[in-house]
Amino acid sequence: MQGSGRKLTVPKDVIQKMNPPKFEKVEDMANLTYLNEASVLYNLKSRYYSGLIYTYSGLFCVVINPYKRLPIYREEIVEWYKGKKRHERPPHIFAIADTAYRNMILDRKDQSILCTGESGAGKTENTKRVIQYLASVATSTKNQKTTPSNIISKLNGELEAQLLKANPILEAFGNAKTIKNDNSSRFGKFIRINFDTSGFIAGANIETYLLEKTRVIRKAPEERSFHIFYQLLASATPELKEKLLLNDAASAKHNYLSHGMIEVSGVDEKQAFQETAEAMSIMGISEEDQQGSLPFFPIRFFGIGFQCITCWWERFFQHLKKTFWSLL
């Protein structure tokens, strides 16, 4: 075996053919001379170890979660992919988004991007990157001929900011730490972005499915409830905690709050809370409405029953979703 010096004897019929050296780290595995399981896995592994997490496979794009932040989503990278054909740039989620956008413009037909995979595969992150790309490419020059440039800049900046800040709010109230994933979406979502006849973003909406309501009051060991609980407890002022009945004296009396907290490595809950509040403000949600959205019900509704609490959370989640998407 290569690297270890060991020899391994295997039946001839299980050996799969190796591709020529020119296909080393090939960008599109549909071009492989021998397309077999061993070749696919070897190519994905070779690219991953070289920091190349995106690989094409025909019409599909295979993504391997690096579990670390990579400098491949900066604004200059967005500009580098704008208007380029897929084969002109290395595999990237931006290339997928650009292809869908250009096909929509040219063919005048709806386009879809489906992100699939098991928990922790990177579905949420890549969905955000698609929105990031479309928010940049489809809001940058809208109405330049008929609107003063300073107003254009303001309107486009607001729309782009709202598109980018919508997901963080949903993540705060709908994502949680699980055994496999520190930022696992506990619901499915279908995001629809609407464009006008000129190809510019005119609005957006979202549909959610299968929200894990039970996580509000019950979670598995080493897992957490929704992020917003921990953001709030780490960041709220004494006055706000008193108002929400979350002060230390009240918290100590309740089973839900008195058994410590599981921390997420690399996450600053106070900063995350500030980002959530900022996102709400950008979406046009007033400070009063923001405080009305905070999850104080584990205290106030303690003892009214499992069904009441979980149904309340679902209604609240749906109301939150409708509120900020209607602002776009």
- DSSP secondary structure letters along 155-201: HHHHHHHHHHHHHHHHHHHHEE--SS-TTEESSEEEEEEEE-TTS-E
Q: Which amino acid is at 256?
A: Y
Q: What is the pLDDT of residue 208?
A: 84
Q: Which amino acid is at 307?
A: Q
Number of Cβ within 10 Å of residue 43's Cβ equals: 21
* 10-residue averages of pLDDT along the chain (328 residues): 75 88 96 94 97 96 94 96 94 97 96 94 94 88 48 56 84 91 91 92 86 84 89 84 72 63 88 90 80 54 43 60 52
Q: What is the pLDDT of residue 149?
A: 47
Q: In angstroms, rounded to a whole number, what is the distance separating the alpha carbons of residues 279 and 164?
A: 9
Q: What is the pLDDT of residue 98?
A: 97
Residues found in the chain: 328
58 is in an annotated binding site: no
What are the residue ranges of CATH 3.40.850.10 in the chain?
87-328
Q: What is the pLDDT of residue 313?
A: 57
120 is in an annotated binding site: yes
117 is in an annotated binding site: yes
Q: List for the chain the helix, strand, coil content (%; round to 5).
A: 50, 10, 45
The token pair at 147 is 């609107």
Number of Cβ within 10 Å of residue 108's Cβ equals: 8
122 is in an annotated binding site: yes
The residues near 283 (Cβ < 8 Å, ≥ 6 apart) are: 162, 165, 166, 169, 324, 327
124 is in an annotated binding site: yes
Q: What is the pLDDT of residue 219?
A: 83
CATH class entry, domain 87-328: alpha beta
Is the Cβ–Cβ distance between 231 and 269 less than 8 Å? Answer: yes
pTM over 0.85: no
Q: Which amino acid is at 27?
A: E
323 is in an annotated binding site: no
Q: How many CA atoms lie within 13 A of 325 on its CB side?
A: 18
Number of Cβ within 10 Å of residue 41's Cβ equals: 10
Is the Cβ–Cβ distance between 315 and 297 less than 8 Å? Answer: no
| Helices 93-107 and 123-137: angle between axes, nearest 10 degrees | 50
The 3-state secondary structure of 276-312 reads HHHHHHHCCCCHHHHHHHCCCHHHHCCCCCHHHHHHH
Q: In angstroms, rounded to a whole number, what is the distance separating the alpha carbons of residues 93 and 70?
A: 13
